[in-house]
Chain A
């Protein structure tokens, strides 16, 4: 990776949030993630790209231990978050998930009011001492989710009554309401129309100021637009990882090149 140094300088001041080494994931017999090494930086958008079924979601879900809910899934290797192993026996995944928030592929608001959707996380983590503080958190989160203006008059309306794009921004607002340090997004725009997509992309760019964002996407244009770092996965392997500009203009691996030019996919 030495030849990337000129472009890396722009972001190398950021500290490392996730340091993953020799990561393996198995679904029963199936080896879904093979020998993956990745360093994810703070205040950076990292994009995971690759053909479908290559393990992007699987790897993303390892980062907040969502794979724990899948019985047959087995995870090996080192996953350091701020230098601490997240798969250590002493780690409670609940605390981890408060630190590493997640936005899912399909918008999945709770069938509750918009207000309660946002307030749920802060409530269970005891982030607000009283109603006023909670109101403040809700407003701040909805503003960060770039949806405040659209819903401020109907916070009591059900979150499930919003349009797809609004629901996804609501889910992003819900994820930031607990003030995580890392935000994982699994194809957050795949169910959205182009306008909603560009709204969410703008939002991701703003979120970069305060968070480390990891986004899985199948759209290379999206990766190019929103990310600073890109990881290309193929058949469970991390083929190439580096500066987004370099990956797209000057890929080192022939597989990356064929994917980017549309020959794998």
Chain B
């Protein structure tokens, strides 16, 4: 360094760069440091992208099959002697026939189908009972629902697509193989061969399964029938509750704190508390919700209203912090300008500051909502893990009916033994991610649309 600086006291102390074409040691060192830093950055981004790709690939490869399902097509004769013994077509009489009453119809239809295709289950070492087991237990319920909805069809022969049993379905998705079937007490290689024969005969096919998205959860032994319909509705209801409560409360609180409140120890205290609340683990809000909303206020367990209230508490700090930040970022000169022409404080806030802060507020709100949508722990504490088969009714009563939520449904399914549920859990994750993606897109679009320069 000493040689780079002229030392004579009356001469200016000046960097001696020599020729501009040659780099001196300092410059080279600086350039090296800069390149090194860029490399670190690129590596970090690379690692992040790689993790993202691995995550997406694993979720997609595991979850995408959940949207397809194997179906067995049968022509069922809706035998009047079995379904409506008196021939009155009285709906109450028909309802008395339980799903057990429908099983023989399916059995007959399956036997007829195999005969028609010239398949003899005995050839594959499959007994009649085992051949029946290839059709989901859900089939009888499906048939019963159809008959109750269309009692006039009794006596006809109707074509039905029944879900195949989860193991058979797994065979066509690579989850079950001949080798694994040997060791599996629930499925035999013979059944798989029979399934292949049915497929050749055109009675078995795999295609998109809407009921994964629209159906309710199903019990342990029929994964093929399980869907995320109730969970989607539950999550939607909770998001409505959160949006309707957290946005107005959060924005009003922020406006007051940012624009009107005097700065004193009390508002400082509130500010510190809000920042701390944002960092409180979500499960704590769950305990709070259990104690206040369920035990004290007596609201029903597993209800979206309680979930929504808990998630509102959780989201409020996020919304308040982001709203205050965006209010703060509006230049004070705009407030002065409004006050200067004789606007009141409130007019200056509502006519000028708030519209300018809107993109930030909406972005913060949507990010808060997205967080709430993915939250599991507090919901488990307020009983949203319960197995819910019934769809909640339309709002506002529906807010008080038991429901599930998407992330809780994912958690539930991963806890079950049958690997078919893991596939469905991944499928539910894909749906959840799609929702989150949509919300973030909306946030970006809103930001773009409302963004103004000043």
Contacts and interface: CB of A to CB of B under 8 A. Distances in A.
A152 B347 CA distance: 28
A95 B352 CA distance: 19
Contact of B342 (A98, A103, A106, A160): A98
Nearest to A95: B342
A125 interface: yes
B333 A97 contact: no
A101 interface: yes
A108 interface: yes
Interface string B334-365: 11111111111001000110001000000000
B342 A178 contact: yes
B344 A94 contact: yes
B340 A64 contact: yes
A71 interface: yes
Contact of A124 (B263, B337, B347): B347
Interface string A169-185: 00100110110000000
Interface residues of A, number: 27
A66 to B, nearest CB: 7
A151 to B, nearest CB: 18
B452 interface: yes
Contact of B340 (A66, A106, A111): A66
Interface in A96-123: 97-98, 101-104, 106, 108-111, 120-121
Interface in A202-238: none
B340 A101 contact: yes
B453 to A, nearest CB: 7
A104 B339 contact: no
A108 B263 contact: no
B334 A108 contact: yes
Interface string A135-174: 0000000000000000000000000100000000001001
Contacts of A64: 340
A127 to B, nearest CB: 11
A78 to B, nearest CB: 23
Nearest to B341: A121
Contacts of B341: 97-98, 101, 120-121, 124, 174-175, 177-178
B327 to A, nearest CB: 15
B342 to A, nearest CB: 4
A97 B339 contact: yes
A69 interface: yes
Contacts, number: 68
A97 B344 CA distance: 10
Contacts of B347: 124
Contacts of A177: 341
Interface string A46-69: 000000000000000000101001
A160 B352 contact: no
Interface string B310-349: 0000000000000000000001011111111111100100
A94 B343 contact: yes
Contacts of A174: 337, 341
A34 to B, nearest CB: 25
B356 A124 contact: no
B340 A104 contact: yes
Given A111-B454, A160-B454, A106 B333 contact: yes
B262 interface: yes
B263 A102 contact: no
A108 B342 contact: no
Given A97-B341, A97-B342, A104 B263 contact: no
Contact of A125 (B336, B342, B351, B356): B342
B337 A171 contact: yes
Given A120-B351, A160-B453, A66 B337 contact: no
B337 A111 contact: no
Nearest to B342: A98
B452 A111 contact: yes
B89 to A, nearest CB: 69
B208 to A, nearest CB: 49
A190 B338 CA distance: 21
A177 B453 CA distance: 25
A120 B334 CA distance: 13
A111 B333 contact: no
Contacts of B351: 120, 124
Contacts of A66: 336, 339-340
A111 B336 contact: no
Contacts of B453: 111, 160
A28 to B, nearest CB: 12
A158 to B, nearest CB: 8
A104 B452 contact: no
A124 B347 CA distance: 9
Contact of A109 (B337, B342, B344): B337
Closest 7 CB pairs of A and B: A98-B342, A121-B341, A108-B333, A102-B340, A111-B454, A97-B342, A108-B337
Given A97-B342, A178-B342, 20 more contacts: A64-B340, A66-B340, A69-B335, A95-B342, A98-B342, A101-B340, A101-B342, A103-B340, A104-B333, A108-B331, A108-B333, A108-B334, A108-B336, A110-B338, A111-B454, A120-B338, A121-B343, A124-B347, A125-B342, A178-B341
28 contacts: A64-B340, A66-B340, A69-B336, A71-B263, A94-B342, A94-B344, A97-B341, A97-B342, A101-B341, A103-B340, A104-B336, A104-B337, A108-B331, A108-B333, A108-B336, A108-B337, A110-B334, A110-B337, A111-B452, A120-B341, A124-B342, A124-B343, A124-B351, A160-B454, A174-B337, A175-B341, A178-B341, A178-B342
Interface of B: 262-263, 331, 333-344, 347, 351-352, 356, 452-454
